[in-house]
Amino acid sequence: MRELTYAQALREAITEEMERNPEILLLGEDIGVYGGVFKVTEGLLARFGPERVIETPISEAGFISAAVGMAMTGKHPLAELMFMDFALVAADSIFNQAAKMRYMSGGRVKVPLLIRTQQGGGRGNAAQHSQSLETLFTHLPGFKVALPATPYDAKGLLKTALRDDNPVIMIEHKLLYNTKGPVPVEEYTLPFGKAAIKRPGDDVTLVSLSRTVLFAQEAAELAAQEGIDVEVIDLRTTVPLDLDTILASVRKTNRLVIAHESHRRLGIGAEIAALVQEHAFDYLDAPIARVGAMDIPIPYSKVLEDEALPGTPHILAAIRSVVA
């Protein structure tokens, strides 16, 4: 099977869906001539023209509001937020309008809107450009939330998102765009709400998402050298959440570690831990371990950023703690 980068897989998905559905159009800052800050939309302006690839002013509140209106009146906009942190600039349009309009209209108004954005640290972009905010979108009802970790998932989930009549946010990670992986030439989509078991195991369940899945797999391989068999689950989406796969794994391994890059306090790991406590408490042989970023603004300094963000050593230490 051919290999594509994460960015190439996203671009291919967007291209195929724009060719399939003429109502899909792109909005965002620097997405046309420049091709996007991470080059995902490179070449799309030349291919589809300025009526479908719309360069916007630097006003997230403006173009997200426009995208919501377009979605409500028959188009299927794909709006790109250059950084996840900028979602807060457009919070009213996202959380009070897009997320609620179908419910408040009794289903009469559809909002087929996809927001693409990227988040996370590791590049020294400092506190205002390194946040991981998937929990915010997961907490406030109305959006489906996807966080692909591989090129294969990025293409399959994005194509699914662009065929949904509900608001979706695709949260990418800024350090995944150059990673490579197998992507079929054949047409495929991936369902939301279906996690992937990246590595089967019998001793510990390790749940993760986005870039942290790569660290989880590394930690599992190192744990295997110590005789600990770790099952690694990639959530893929947090809304809907594939709780069944998590519970089935915990009932087999009797131990659970949850790892993500967002802050540990009230992160998605806290919700998963609570759900497992509610539905599989009797199967647990050890306290649930959670791994996340320190509850501080993400530092600019490389040394401090590495300390604040979770990585393979932090996850390995959590694995050891639940089997001790």
> Which residues are marked as active site?
60, 129
Helix axes 312-323, 212-224, angle to 10 degrees: 50
- Helix axes of 243-253 and 268-280: crossing angle, nearest 10 degrees: 60
Place of tokens 């509140």: 61
Residue 159 near residue 16, CB atoms below 8 Å: yes
Residue type, 152: Y
Count how many Cα atoms sit within 13 Å of the Cα of residue 12 in the half-sphere of its side chain.
Answer: 21
Amino acid at 203: D
Strand duo 237-239 + 230-234: pairing:
unpaired
The first and second tokens of residue 208, run together, are: 């993760």
Tokens of 1: 């099977």
> Please, how many CA atoms are within 13 Å of residue 308, restricted to the half-sphere of its CB?
23
What is the DSSP-derived secondary structure letter of residue 85? Answer: G
Name the DSSP class of 97.
I
Contact (CB, 8 A) for 243 and 231: no
DSSP designation for 299: P
Neighbour count for residue 127 (Cβ, 10 Å): 14
Taking a C-beta distance cutoff of 8 angstroms, is the pair 182, 174 a contact? no
Phi, psi of 119 (to 5 degrees): -145, -175
> For the chain, how many residues are written?
324
Q: How far is CA 129 from CA 50, 121, 231, 245, 262, in A?
A: 28, 8, 32, 33, 13
